[in-house]
């Protein structure tokens, strides 16, 4: 059984509801329209404060140059757990007490493993009259994911990968139930294999971390989930991943950067995640204020790969240094995988709360850079990807984390429909940059549903089902 493609499902602890009430996107566009002019920006913040139950904004920041929000926004108090089901105009949600969370988590596990609607109904943890048959489907997906058949990299939705060795596998960033994202409703329902050894999460953005999607892949509570260590919950990392999964009754580990883990015959190196922060450079943010994440290096014995997700540069470090250290410690890698999209933080609409973590003077400087066309991307982009491949000594580059448009379908817009280049165009740009450096990394085009595996020392692509 599986949830119907139009069903939105969520199980999550939310931050303090006062912080959730802040109109981050509206304020960002308002500041941009006013060109960060001090008097007009101050009036915007004052008007927004007047509409809030409790003033959380600091209009005086335009004079003192400090943060535009108070500390309660930067480091919000924990909020309650919520369980949400939505189908069309029908929405069913409830606030959960902590002791109820494991029962909902078990239900999500049960849906993925049930063969009949009766089994799903029997696992339903709420009142029987609230159960709706239309939320679930028994029909198999039209184009299922290829079943794992030996060592390789199996490309799935967006940033999700199945990294397989000879005896086990690690699944990265599964989000098949994150229906708030375009086209995710068409993700196949056949999930990770029963032999899944672990899951690895890179960071907490909604296109990488979704608790119901994660639980659906975990029939066993003792299957470990590797998550980033969160020293302090904050505006940029509003959940402590370990605490969330512990509340769901799931085995979880939060290794520090630089640590390694063994999963069967597969070694997992946990690497720093620099990039996709509010600014690519400049003074550091207050201690603990960060989008906490991890990149990974996997060594299966048959091949090695670096999974660099949305990495790049930030005031705390550069991904180029991380890659160079990994190569020095363990040698060159066979494959680098990374997103190619450029994020002009903090003015990137997909992360419209990022501006609130920066002081007024820094925001004004970044806006001037943006207007002058010199604002750097916080992610690597095609040029940075070429640099990372060269530093890693990578034999191959495989794009990923560029969106999802269906199994067997190419990514025509790495911006999820925002009018950005296709993955093929980005690949061509990476090839051009590699050629300028004299690097020998080979850039390959592949699609969700494809499998990359090594045969006689060469990477070979096995095409998945076409849609």
Tokens of 174: 């599964």
- pLDDT tens, position by position, 154-173: 999 999 999 999 999 999 99
Residue-level pLDDT at 467: 62
Model confidence, pTM: 0.96
Residue-level pLDDT at 139: 75
Helix or strand holding residue 108 (H, E): helix 101-113
Q: What is the mean pLDDT of the chain?
A: 94
Residue-level pLDDT at 77: 87
Above pLDDT 90, what percent of the chain?
Answer: 84
Residue-level pLDDT at 350: 80
Model confidence at 110: pLDDT above 80? yes
Q: Which of 288, 365, 303 shows the shortest CA–CA distance to 334?
A: 303
Mean pLDDT of 285-304: 97
- pLDDT tens, position by position, 233-248: 999 999 999 999 999 9
User: Which class in CATH covers the domain with range 148-342+377-461?
Assistant: alpha beta
Helix or strand holding residue 247 (H, E): helix 241-247
Q: Which pLDDT band, with edges at 50, 70 and 90, does 321 fall under? A: very high
Model confidence at 17: pLDDT above 80? no
Model confidence at 192: pLDDT above 80? no
Residue-level pLDDT at 180: 86
Q: What is the C-alpha separation between 443 and 423, in angstroms, rounded? A: 11
Q: Which of 134, 137, 132 shows the shortest CA–CA distance to 116?
A: 137
Residue-level pLDDT at 294: 98
Q: Which of 136, 169, 174, 170 shows the shortest CA–CA distance to 158?
A: 174
- pLDDT tens, position by position, 390-414: 999 999 999 999 999 999 999 999 9
């Amino acid at each position: 059984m599986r949830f119907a493609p139009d069903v939105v499902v969520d199980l999550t602890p939310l931050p303090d509801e006062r912080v959730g009430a802040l109109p981050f996107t509206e304020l960002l566009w308002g500041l941009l329209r006013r060109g960060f002019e001090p008097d007009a920006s101050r009036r915007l913040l004052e008007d927004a404060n007047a509409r809030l139950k409790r003033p959380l904004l600091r209009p005086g920041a335009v004079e003192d140059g400090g943060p535009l929000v108070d500390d309660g926004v930067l480091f919000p108090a924990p909020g309650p757990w919520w369980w949400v089901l939505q189908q069309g105009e029908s929405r069913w949600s409830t606030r959960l007490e902590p002791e109820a969370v494991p029962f909902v988590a078990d239900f999500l596990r049960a849906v993925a493993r049930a063969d009949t609607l009766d089994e799903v109904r029997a696992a339903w943890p709420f009142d029987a009259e609230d159960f709706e048959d239309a939320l679930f489907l028994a029909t198999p997906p039209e184009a299922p994911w290829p079943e794992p058949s030996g060592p390789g990299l199996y490309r799935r939705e967006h940033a999700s990968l199945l990294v397989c060795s000879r005896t086990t596998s690690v699944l990265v960033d599964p989000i098949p139930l994150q229906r708030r994202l375009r086209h995710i409703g068409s993700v196949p329902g056949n999930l990770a294999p029963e032999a899944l050894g672990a899951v690895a999460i890179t960071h907490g953005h909604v296109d990488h971390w979704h608790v119901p999607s994660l639980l659906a892949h975990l029939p066993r509570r003792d299957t470990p989930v590797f998550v980033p260590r969160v020293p302090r919950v904050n505006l940029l990392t509003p959940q402590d991943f370990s605490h969330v999964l512990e509340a769901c009754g799931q085995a979880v580990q939060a290794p520090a950067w630089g640590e390694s883990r063994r999963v069967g015959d597969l070694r997992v190196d946990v690497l720093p995640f620099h990039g996709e922060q509010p600014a690519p450079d400049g003074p550091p943010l207050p201690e603990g204020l960060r989008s906490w994440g991890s990149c990974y290096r996997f060594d299966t014995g048959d091949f090695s790969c670096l999974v660099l997700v949305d990495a790049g540069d930030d005031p705390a470090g550069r991904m180029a240094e991380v890659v160079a250290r990994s190569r020095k410690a363990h040698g060159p890698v066979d494959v680098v995988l990374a997103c190619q999209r450029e994020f002009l933080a903090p003015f990137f609409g997909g992360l419209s709360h990022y501006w609130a973590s920066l002081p007024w003077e820094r925001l004004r400087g970044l806006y001037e850079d943006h207007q002058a066309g010199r604002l750097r991307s916080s992610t690597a982009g095609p040029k940075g990807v070429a640099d990372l491949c060269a530093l890693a000594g990578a034999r191959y580059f495989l794009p990923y984390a560029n969106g999802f448009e269906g199994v067997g379908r190419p990514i025509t817009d790495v911006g999820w429909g925002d009018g950005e280049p296709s993955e093929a165009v980005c690949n061509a740009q990476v090839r051009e940059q590699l050629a300028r450096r004299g690097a020998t990394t080979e850039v390959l085009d592949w699609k969700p549903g494809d499998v990359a595996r090594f045969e006689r020392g060469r990477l070979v692509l096995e095409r998945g089902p076409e849609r």
